[in-house]
A and B are shown apart, each in its own frame.
Chain A
Amino acid sequence: QVQLQQWGAGLLKPSETLSLTCAVYVGSFRDHYWSWIRQPPGKGLEWIGEINHSGSTSYNPSLKSRVTMSVDTSKNQFSLKLTSVTAADTAVYYCAKMPYVWGKGTTVTVSS
């Protein structure tokens, strides 16, 4: 069973860049798309985008201008960068092999 471990900075100032990484343990990294999803406090789930082992990406149009995803196949890791963050980007960010396996989530707070 695939396991995901994620990490990254939890406190950012407005205009900074959010950076998170997710490591994939057990199972094949090459055979799937890997997603990022976020959930603002007390709100629902929003899919941010996905990437595969060759770097092919799909992004949510609502965030596309600020999102970059990348992959490091040598480490079985994928990453998310979100630029120019504001308070509206405060959320729990999950990495996932949708729909089956999710990371535990990283709380990111944007505050001056």
Chain B
Amino acid sequence: DIQMTQSPSSLSASVGDRVTITCRASQTIGTYLNWYQQKPGKAPKLLIDAASNLQDGVPSRFSGSGSGTDFTLTISSLQPEDFASYYCQQGYSVPWTFGQGTNVEVK
């Protein structure tokens, strides 16, 4: 199985901050990397697929980068609605696996 390691597991930030979350795969996965946002009591919502492809309707303050084993999700200017949990997921080979999540909290 491909292991996905996210860091940090949690972070505290303020509105307007630039936030960066990293995800590392245990083997190369090309750009088969997805990012989700999850709010309490809700299903995950896809933000970015193929490492950097922003989904329709997702604000442009979200961006993704990386390839191979190292990936980054950046929120350029954190907004109140962005406080949530974020997960990466590799789509390279089954079993599909997720990072352990990053909880973005209010500072």
Contacts and interface: CB of A to CB of B under 8 A. Distances in A.
A61 B87 contact: no
Interface in B33-68: 34, 36, 42-46, 49
B43 A45 contact: no
Interface string A72-112: 00000000000000000000001010111011110000000
Given A35-B96, A94-B44, 6 more contacts: A45-B44, A49-B95, A99-B91, A100-B46, A102-B45, A104-B42
A45 B87 contact: yes
Interface residues of A, number: 21
B71 interface: no
Interface of B: 1, 34, 36, 42-46, 49, 87, 89, 91, 94-101
Given A44-B100, A45-B44, A99 B95 contact: no
Interface of A: 35, 44-47, 49-50, 58-62, 94, 96, 98-100, 102-105
A105 B99 CA distance: 20
A94 B97 CA distance: 15
Cβ-closest 4 pairs across A and B: A102-B43, A45-B98, A60-B95, A47-B96
Given A44-B87, A61-B1, A102 B96 contact: no
